[in-house]
Structure formats: structure tokens, C-alpha cells
Amino acid sequence: MDDQQKNAGQGTTHFGFREVPETEKAGLVGQVFSNVAGKYDLMNDLMSLGIHRLWKRFTIDQTRARPGQHVLDVAGGTGDLGAALARRVGPQGRVVISDINPAMLEVGRNRLADKGIVGNVEFVEADAEHLPFADQEFDIVTLAFGIRNMTHPEQALREIQRVLKPGGRALILEFSHPTWPGLGPVYDAYSFHLLPHLGQLVAGDRESYQYLVESIRRWADQETLKQMMERAGFELVEYFNLSGGIVALHKGIKL
């Protein structure tokens, strides 16, 4: 059986600027994040000049997390949001950090243990498109810089909606499309010329960072993601452009 026959009737999707069979994307993305896990946080600081910390802080503030609440951080990787949320919900609350990639989870588990954040945090290896949690289990679900890497992002949004309690909030932080006049060309030049080179210099991995840049360019704009969330069942969806639209935070409610 040749490759064309094997792929007959099988959908394709994008992996950066490449088109690949849907069944291959998760494995390809998994390899990228296994490659970059050890340098992920350092590279985030270098690539964003530290501004990613402000984006995440804004996201945490918008969760309005309170003591005792149950929170799920999907694609939580190295635990940036999870650590902050654990402090907000306190010892009577619960934070679950899920990620499909075990290497990223291991980095997060070690980081939070080093900070003494252990009692109210769980780490779960899970596919965001098939979350292993009960209906209406969480008060808040966050997802930062992960949805663009998913094969079926709308399925992940439906799963997030499913596991939220009525009145619960979903917050999706993701790279988006610049809105400031003249910012787009500058951002493209920075992304395509400097970031892969930085990935090679610091992490020894140009290809993974080339993919990450390309995945940002292929991702939906602000209005498209808003519509995706509405189709997944969220109400009162709004978004906040950060750093001129380079990043956007989308927020939706399950009524």
C-alpha cells in the first residue's frame, strides 16, 4: 500500500508551514517540546525580553481565583501559571497542571517542588482534546500558549467547556495578530530572523524554534478565536490585546 492510499480519507493539518496528516501532528509537536523542555523558560525570557511574565500576570489577575477554588491549567508545562494559581487558591484549593508532554511536566514538577509548592498541586499527563476529568469539575480553566499547537483546537475548547462548572471561566492566552500600525513587519523580521538563531545559540535547536515561529503565523486572529470559543459553548466571550496584539487573552464564561 503506498502513502497516498494510506492517507486516503485522512485529514491534513498544518505543522508550522508544512501540511501533515492529522495523525502525525501530535507526535511532531511532542518532539518539539521534548527538545525544548529544558530551556523553555530561559528561552521565553530571552524571546519576549521578559514580557511574557507580564502577560501571564495579567491572565492570573483576570482569573479572579479565590481561596478554595479548583483550577485546571491545560498545557501547563513548566508550571508558571500553576504556581501563581496555587498561591491564589490556597491550601483548601486545588490546582491541576495537565500537559500531553511528560518532559514538560517533569520540568514543572521539579520547579514547583523547589519553590515548596506541593500540597495543593497535581500533575496529570493528558491530551487536551480528551481531558480525563469529570463534567463540571473546575471553577477556572487556563490555557497559555498551547492551543495553537493542538490538532483539533475546537475539540479542546469543547473539553474545557465540559469540565467547567456553570459560572466557570476559561482564559486562553495565545500569540495573535499585531494590531498597532507598522508593528507587523517589525515583528515578522524579529521572529523569522532572530528567534530561530537564538534557539540555535541558546538551546542548540534551530528547527524547533523555527516551527514555533511558523505556528504563530498560522494561528487564528483574535476574532476567529473568539468565534471558536462561542461555537464551543462559551458566553460573554471577550479578548484583551496585549503588546499591540502580539498576544491576546480571550476570556469566556460557561453559563
Length of the chain: 255
Cell digits of residue 214: 511558523
For 118, the 3-state DSSP assignment is: coil
Query: Cα separation of 253 and 115, whole Å?
Result: 32
Q: Position of cell 483550577? A: 71
- Catalogue the E-assigned strands of 46-191: 70-74, 94-99, 121-125, 138-144, 164-175
Sort 80 into a burial class: Cβ within 10 Å, 0-12 / 13-18 / 19+. Answer: buried
Binding site members for S-adenosyl-L-methionine: 78, 99, 127-128
For 100-151, strand residue ranges (E) read 121-125, 138-144
Name beta bridge partners: 98: 74, 124
Helix, strand, coil shares, percent, the chain, to 5: 50, 25, 25
- Distance in angstroms (rounded) separating the CA atoms of residues 159 and 149: 16
Binding residues: 78, 99, 127-128
Give the burial string for 194-213 (b: 16+ CB within 10 Å, else e).
ebbeebeeebebeebbbbbb
